Every structure is written in C-alpha cells, then in structure tokens.
Structure 1
Amino acid sequence: MTDGRKTWTPEEINRAVNLRNQGHAWRAIARRLGRSDTMCRFQYERHTSKPVKAQPQANLVTPKVSDIRAERAPDSEPLPVGHPIVMQVIWHGIARRAAD
C-alpha cells in the first residue's frame, strides 16, 4: 500500500513509465513502487502526455444453465458443500431473502 508520500521523484516516474512500457499492469507497478495504481497511471499520463484508454471488456454474457450442464461430464459429481462457489450461492440467496 502507499506510505503517504506526496511528491514523486524523477526516478520513480521513469521507473513507472518503463515498467508500463514493458507491459506491466498498474497494480504490479504500484506494488513495486509502494504507490497506488491510480497515482501510477496519473503520473504516467502526465509524464508521457498520453491518456490511458480503458481496455474494452470481453462480451460478458451469462451462459444458460443448459449450456453449463452440456459442458459438464455426465458422471461428474456436484460441488462439495464447503466449496467457495457453493458458499457464495448460499450467501447470495440468504441476502436476497433478507432484502425481500
């Protein structure tokens, strides 16, 4: 996380720019420099005069239950009760019930 520093040294800015030009993610750059990913991106944009465009997200389509069942092997076992996905579904259902 950050240590509350406000000023950036030229070495830090150059390192952030070099890391980004090498293809590193903002979060990885921030971790290496001990800064926030937002501030790393801001300094990059400021130093290079190139605005960073958001990456287009993949077309997020929710698959149909029938498609999911078709992908599963016919002899596959259901997820165990303590599995994180199962617990997420359980808590989601409880939260919906509480909201109603």
Structure 2
Amino acid sequence: MTDGRKTWTPEEISLVVSLRNQGHAWRAIARHLGRSDVMCRYQYERVTCIPAKAPPQHQDDPPSRKVSDIKSDRAPDSPPLPVGHPIVMEALWWGITRRACCEPRK
C-alpha cells in the first residue's frame, strides 16, 4: 500500500485538495498518490481547515442554508407534513429501527 514516506511535498498536498474538490473518494485519492486515505484526509483538513467529514464544496454550488433560516421562512401557522411524506416516512422508519436495535430483549 504505502511506502512509509513521512513528508508531503507541496505538489502532493495541492493534488489532494484539487482531487477532493472535484469529488473524488478518499480511497481513490490515496491509491493515486500511494498514501493512506487517513493521511490524505488529514492533509486536506490541515490545509483547507474544512472538516474531512464535510462533503466537498464546488465553486458553483450555493452555500447550504441553516436550519434557523429555514424555520424563519416557514409560516408559524403552516400545517405539518402529511402522512406518507418521504421525510415523515424516513423519520418513522429510523425511529422504529433505532428502537428495535437499542431496546434490551426480553
């Protein structure tokens, strides 16, 4: 996998940043450079100050809105989501599976 190199060249670091900003996976970037994916993520996070868990931001993507902004846009008397709405069903399913896996068996 890796050859145990400890130092990173500026070219390698800029390649990690550019490949990640293009949307490439950490594993593919690491394979291309001959480094570990953990170290590629670390170098990306160190240089860009963006957490590695965050999805890459493209230049043409608008910044995502905050929950507080979305709540302020919504009317206070708006009705709740209808039964069968995808968000409602996902939340229901998540609650059921979470409860099933976390409750002790009798």
For normalisation by structure 1, the TM-score amounts to 0.53
The equivalent residue for 2:51 is 51
Q: How does 1:72-83 map to 2 (within 5 A)?
A: none
Unaligned residue ranges in structure 2 (runs of 5+): 56-93, 98-106
* d(CA) in 1 for partners of 2:15, 2:54: 22
The equivalent residue for 2:12 is 12
After TM superposition, give the deviation of residue 54 of structure 1 in Å. 6.2
* d(CA) in 2 for partners of 1:54, 1:33: 21
* d(CA) in 1 for partners of 2:39, 2:48: 14
The equivalent residue for 1:29 is 29
The equivalent residue for 2:2 is 2
Count matched residues: 57
For normalisation by structure 2, the TM-score amounts to 0.50
1:9-44 per-position Cα deviation (integer Å, ceiling 9, x unaligned): 000000000000000000000000000000000000
% identical equivalent positions: 75
Unaligned residue ranges in structure 1 (runs of 5+): 62-100
CA RMSD of aligned residues (A): 1.7
